[in-house]
Amino acid sequence: MRVVLQRVNSASVTVGDDVVAAIAVVDGSVLAVSQFTLCASTSRGRRPSFLSAAEPRRAKRLFERFVEGVGSHGIPVETGVFAAYMQIALVNDGPVTIVLDG
């Protein structure tokens, strides 16, 4: 699993015409969005390979476990919609991006 953490002032997820999740300047809130494209390999040719991504059912369970784990520490968590086409809007708070591989 790969996690990309970004410090933001605000963020929201829209699916279709509905905002399904949003956070604003709140200390320690998390907006978790599944993104299988983080597993893309571009080492062979122009088209990315997603062979290292988990199959959808397993990926959904891993994502749900991650969300539950974060929430179990008392951290407010909002989520997008797993496997949906989502539009993500965010305002970064400084140049802070951390990539965790596990």
Q: Are 81 and 31 in contact (CB under 8 A)?
A: no
Per-position b or e across 4-37, b if 16+ CB within 10 A of its CB = eeeebebbbbbeeeeeebebeeeeebbbbbbeee
Please give the positions annotated as active site: 37
- Tell me if residue 1 falls in helix, strand or coil: coil
